[in-house]
Structure 1
Amino acid sequence: MDRSPALASVPGAPVTVPAAVREIARDDAIAPVWRNQLGGLTFRLDPADGAGPGRFVKWVAVGTPEIDLAGEAARILWVGRRSPVPVVLDQGGSADGAWLVTRALPGRSAVDPCWIADPATAARAIGRGLRALHDALPVDSCPFSWSVEERVANADARLAGGSGPHEWFPEHRDLAVAAARARLDAPPAVDRLVVCHGDACVPNTLLHDDGTFAAHVDLGSLGVADRWADLAVAAWSTEWNYGPGFDGHVYAGYGVEPDPERIAFYRLLWDLS
């Protein structure tokens, strides 16, 4: 099944470790664990003596404005202890790129082989974790936004730069650019404003070995929006990582019935923006 033009994934080929990451690691063992669609890399650093929880370093080359690691650090620090998220240890940049260092958290990504083998359990836990995040974070005091208006502006910039159906998911490739863009001018009424994760795809939820929610990672787009902006994509991403038929488990875990109108709108917005 053709699931995505360019899904993030575990690197399948040797990765050159940036000098900044080697400097941060010192004597720690370095393992590349993730490459996102824009080329950003995540490395795990494990102490040579086996002591301590280990660290993760996210690194992005200079000239990748879509990834704002300073902004992600600010969001993580704002969340603080309200919800399980990484602890920021360092953030900085150089002439070559930028980095974000966090302490390793308990749990495994929901794309770990053990959860690929038990997708129904994982999908329900993803829904429960998303509900816990939405319920824990205060909308009124959140300084970050993930509004439809901002995201439509980003979609317009991408379309002006040549983005089109060849980059979209199969569900939208039969739409003409003008028709797809026009649909974004009629957003559904807000169901419930929450502080959204902003990238609630399957890999960004960590689960305990008993199948319960552990934590969220990759919070660079966290901000206030309708909860369906997260829900629609979290459920959709189960198709990309597990195959069809598990989206309903996300909604059930969250405790909500599917809303076809909002699901369709926020998936299209995700694709175009």
Structure 2
Amino acid sequence: MAELPVVQPPESVFAGVEVPAAVNAVAAGRSLRPVWRNVLGGLTYEISDTNARYFVKYASSGSGLPLRQEAERLEWAARYTPVPRVVDAGEDEDGFWMLTEALPGLSAVDAKWRANPEKAVQALAYGLSALHQRMPVDECPFDWSVDRRLRGHRDLSGTDPVHGDLPNDEAWRRATDPPPVDKIVVCHGDPCAPNTLIGDDGTWTGHVDMAALGTADRWADLAVCSWSLSWNYGPGWEPLFFDTYGVEPDPERIAYYRLLWDLGS
């Protein structure tokens, strides 16, 4: 399963973590606040001054985090949909960094929206629908198809309990027998709730963390985004999500793409 960002982590998450030299150089004396650290050690900091806010993401060498890949996708997607604009990017012997402008809004899993899940779920669904409608499939140079994803992992360790008792051989057999494609769109690639931003009025304002963006069946996004609702808001929100997006739930495709996600592909 792809890693989820830790939103507004406790101090213990960053205890003993030294700010990378490249991040300090990018901050250039401006206010620097740690925002999250993911399970692979990727770091994100907020940089602010009196005029603007930015975020700098950092991936150490050897971490396997596709930060360079994300920068490429953000630069392409920014022409069509609200995503962080890449201001600069670079690397040194220790790792790769990317500086982006801040978007308005809070993560959909901020305490404000956890306390108002109905608004959050509607914003998630509307935002994903807008993303799928705005980005041109024929012009997208990035691929997130089943064939491409199946070149990745085939391990169910650390999966959701719904797949926990499924032998790896059987999981792989199912993964290599996908349902027919419904509709090809440009997918987010990691559409879990934390990666949608919501404005003060409850409207979707943009998406973040788009390293896997690419063309795929829309159910690759829909299955995972709807799944993440129960992780963040509790059970029972999927009907509202699908109704707001404007599609009837497809149990076969939902089950398939959730398995593929759990396989880490």
TM, length-normalised to structure 2:
0.93
- Identify the residue that residue 56 of structure 1 maps to in structure 2: 55
> Any idea what SS the aligned residue of 2:138 has?
coil
> Any idea what SS the aligned residue of 1:76 has?
helix
- Identify the residue that residue 80 of structure 1 maps to in structure 2: 78
Distance 1:191 1:5, change over 3 A: closer
Q: Distance in 2 between matches of 1:249 and 1:40?
A: 33
Contact 1:126–1:253 (Cα < 8 Å) also in 2: no
Q: Aligned match of 1:198 in 186, 189, 196?
A: 189
Matched-pair identity in %: 52
Per-residue CA distance 1:212-259 (angstroms, 9 max, x = gap): 110011111100000000011001111111122222222122111111
Structure 2, unaligned runs of 5 or more: none
Q: Distance in 2 between matches of 1:64 and 1:169?
A: 24
- Identify the residue that residue 115 of structure 1 maps to in structure 2: 113
Per-residue CA distance 1:140-189 (angstroms, 9 max, x = gap): 1110000101111102xxx4xxx43x311111001011111110111011
Structure 1 residue identity aligned to 2:148: E
Q: Over aligned residue pairs, what C-alpha RMSD do you find?
A: 1.5
Q: Distance in 2 between matches of 1:188 and 1:125?
A: 28
Q: Distance in 2 between matches of 1:133 and 1:8?
A: 21
Q: Distance in 2 between matches of 1:247 and 1:24?
A: 41
Q: How many residues align?
A: 259
Contact 1:42–1:57 (Cα < 8 Å) also in 2: yes
- Identify the residue that residue 223 of structure 1 maps to in structure 2: 214
- Identify the residue that residue 171 of structure 1 maps to in structure 2: 162
Q: Distance in 2 between matches of 1:230 and 1:83?
A: 16
Structure 1 residue identity aligned to 2:6: S
Contact 2:2–2:190 (Cα < 8 Å) also in 1: no
Contact 2:2–2:261 (Cα < 8 Å) also in 1: no
Q: Distance in 2 between matches of 1:53 and 1:239?
A: 35
- Identify the residue that residue 24 of structure 1 maps to in structure 2: 26
Contact 1:69–1:91 (Cα < 8 Å) also in 2: no
Q: Distance in 1 between matches of 2:4 and 2:137?
A: 30
Q: Aligned match of 1:9 in 6, 10, 26?
A: 6
Q: Distance in 1 between matches of 2:3 and 2:206?
A: 25
- Identify the residue that residue 242 of structure 2 maps to in structure 1: 251
> Any idea what SS the aligned residue of 2:151 has?
helix
- Identify the residue that residue 42 of structure 2 maps to in structure 1: 40
Q: Distance in 2 between matches of 1:239 and 1:61?
A: 32
Q: Distance in 2 between matches of 1:61 and 1:123?
A: 34
Q: Distance in 2 between matches of 1:75 and 1:172?
A: 31
- Identify the residue that residue 265 of structure 1 maps to in structure 2: 256
Q: Distance in 1 between matches of 2:43 and 2:237?
A: 28
Distance 1:7 1:194, change over 3 A: closer
Structure 1 residue identity aligned to 2:196: T
Cα distance, 1:6 vs structure 2? 6.6
Structure 2 residue identity aligned to 1:233: V
Q: Distance in 2 between matches of 1:268 and 1:207?
A: 28
Cα distance, 1:114 vs structure 2? 0.4
**Is 1:70 paired with 2:68?**
yes
Q: Distance in 2 between matches of 1:80 and 1:124?
A: 23
> Any idea what SS the aligned residue of 1:181 has?
helix
Q: Aligned match of 2:147 in 122, 146, 149?
A: 149
Per-residue CA distance 1:40-59 (angstroms, 9 max, x = gap): 11111111xxx222100111
Distance 1:147 1:64, change over 3 A: same
Structure 2 residue identity aligned to 1:57: V
Structure 2 residue identity aligned to 1:62: S
Structure 1 residue identity aligned to 2:54: R
Q: Distance in 1 between matches of 2:48 and 2:109?
A: 21
> Any idea what SS the aligned residue of 2:89 has?
strand
**Is 1:232 paired with 2:223?**
yes
